[in-house]
Chain A
Amino acid sequence: MAEWILSSGNEAAARGAIQAGCKYFFGYPITPQNEIAEFLSEELPKIGGVYLQSDGEGAAAYMLFGGALTGQRVMTATSSPGFSLMHEAISHMAMVEAPAVIIEVMRLGPGAGTGGQQGQTDYRQMTKGGGHGAYRNIVLAPYTVQEIFDFTQLAFYLADKYRILVIVATDFILGRMTERVNLRSLNFPPLPAKDWALKGKDQKDGKSDHHMSALVFGGIPEFFQHQTEKHQRIIEEETRVENYQAENARLIIIAYGSTARAARRAVNIARKNGLEVGLLRPITLWPFPKEAIKKAASRAEKVLVVEDSPGELVEDVEAAVLEQVPVHLLGIWARHHSGPSGLIYPERIFQEIKALI
Chain B
Amino acid sequence: MDRQLIYGKPGLLTGPSLHHCPGCHYGIILGVLFEVIEELDIGGRAIAVTGGGCTARWARYLDIDTTGGIHGPGPAIASAIKRIYPESIVFVAQGDGEQGAIGLGYFMNSALRAEKITIMGFNNACFGTTGGQMAPTTLLGMKTSTSPLGRNPQTEGFPFHAPELIATIKGTAYAARVSVHTSANRQRAKAALKTAFQKQIDGVGFSLVEFIAACPPNWHLSPGDCLKFIEEKMLVEFPLGDFKNVDTIDYSMPVF
- Are A72 and B70 in touch, CB under 8 angstroms? no
- Count B-side interface residues using an 8 Å CB cutoff: 37
Closest to B87 in A: A200
One of B1-9, B38-46, B169-177 contacting the partner = B38-46
- Are A210 and B60 in touch, CB under 8 angstroms? yes
- Are A208 and B66 in touch, CB under 8 angstroms? yes
- Are B68 and A200 in touch, CB under 8 angstroms? no
- Are A50 and B83 in touch, CB under 8 angstroms? yes
Q: Which of B65, B68, B73, B80 contacts A208 (CB 8 A)?
A: B65
Q: Which of A56, A67, A89, A201 contacts B81 (CB 8 A)?
A: A67
* Chain B stretch 77-98: residues in CB contact (< 8 A) with chain A: 77-81, 83-85, 87-89
Whether A212 sits at the interface, judged by CB under 8 Å, is yes
Indicate whether A59 sits within 8 Å of B65 (C-beta atoms), given known contacts A70-B85, A72-B84: no
- Are B59 and A212 in touch, CB under 8 angstroms? yes
Whether B47 sits at the interface, judged by CB under 8 Å, is yes
Whether A262 sits at the interface, judged by CB under 8 Å, is no
Docked CA distance A321–B112 (Å) = 54
Whether B49 sits at the interface, judged by CB under 8 Å, is yes
- Are A198 and B81 in touch, CB under 8 angstroms? yes
- Are B45 and A202 in touch, CB under 8 angstroms? yes
Whether A257 sits at the interface, judged by CB under 8 Å, is no
Looking at B76, B83, B112, which has the most chain A CB atoms within 10 Å of its CB?
B76
Docked CA distance A66–B79 (Å) = 8
Indicate whether A62 sits within 8 Å of B76 (C-beta atoms), given known contacts A199-B88, A200-B85, A208-B66: yes
Docked CA distance A63–B59 (Å) = 18
Q: Shortest beta-carbon distance, A62 to chain B, in Å?
A: 4
The SS class assigned to the A binding surface is: mixed
Whether A241 sits at the interface, judged by CB under 8 Å, is no
Q: Using Cβ atoms and an 8 Å threshold, which residues of chain B touch A72?
A: 84
Closest to A63 in B: B80
- Count A-side interface residues using an 8 Å CB cutoff: 36
Q: Using Cβ atoms and an 8 Å threshold, which residues of chain B touch A210?
A: 59-60, 65-67
Q: Which of A24, A66, A96, A216 contacts B78 (CB 8 A)?
A: A66
Whether A172 sits at the interface, judged by CB under 8 Å, is no
Q: Shortest beta-carbon distance, B112 to chain A, in Å?
A: 8
- Are A66 and B64 in touch, CB under 8 angstroms? no
Whether B50 sits at the interface, judged by CB under 8 Å, is yes
Whether A54 sits at the interface, judged by CB under 8 Å, is yes
Binary interface encoding of chain A residues 151-187 relative to chain B, with 1 for a CB under 8 A from any of its CBs, else 0: 0000000000000000000000000000000000000
Whether A83 sits at the interface, judged by CB under 8 Å, is no
- Are A50 and B84 in touch, CB under 8 angstroms? yes
- Are A66 and B76 in touch, CB under 8 angstroms? yes
Indicate whether A198 sits within 8 Å of B73 (C-beta atoms), given known contacts A50-B83, A70-B81: no
Whether A26 sits at the interface, judged by CB under 8 Å, is yes
Q: Shortest beta-carbon distance, A243 to chain B, in Å?
A: 41
Q: Shortest beta-carbon distance, B189 to chain A, in Å?
A: 25
Whether A65 sits at the interface, judged by CB under 8 Å, is yes
Whether B69 sits at the interface, judged by CB under 8 Å, is yes
Whether B105 sits at the interface, judged by CB under 8 Å, is yes
Docked CA distance A263–B146 (Å) = 56
Whether B238 sits at the interface, judged by CB under 8 Å, is no
Docked CA distance A1–B209 (Å) = 56
* Chain A stretch 194-210: residues in CB contact (< 8 A) with chain B: 198-202, 206, 208-210
Q: Which of B50, B63, B88, B112 contacts A200 (CB 8 A)?
A: B88
Whether A211 sits at the interface, judged by CB under 8 Å, is yes
Q: Which of A65, A89, A212 contacts B60 (CB 8 A)?
A: A212
Closest to A50 in B: B83
Q: Shortest beta-carbon distance, B72 to chain A, in Å?
A: 9
Whether A69 sits at the interface, judged by CB under 8 Å, is yes
Q: Using Cβ atoms and an 8 Å threshold, which residues of chain A touch B185?
A: none
Indicate whether A200 sits within 8 Å of B77 (C-beta atoms), given known contacts A92-B70, A212-B59: no
Whether A298 sits at the interface, judged by CB under 8 Å, is no
Q: Using Cβ atoms and an 8 Å threshold, which residues of chain B touch A66?
A: 49, 67, 76-81
Indicate whether A63 sits within 8 Å of B66 (C-beta atoms), given known contacts A199-B88, A212-B60: no
19 A-B pairs with CB atoms under 8 Å apart are: A24-B80, A52-B79, A54-B76, A55-B112, A59-B73, A64-B80, A65-B77, A67-B84, A70-B85, A199-B85, A200-B44, A200-B47, A200-B65, A201-B43, A208-B63, A210-B66, A212-B67, A212-B70, A213-B69
- Which of A's residues lie within 8 Å of B, judged by CB? 24, 26, 50, 52, 54-56, 58-59, 62-67, 69-70, 72, 74, 89, 92, 96, 198-202, 206, 208-213, 216-217
Please list the 3 inter-chain residue pairs (A to B) with the smallest Cβ-Cβ separation, ordered nearest first: A202-B44, A66-B77, A55-B109
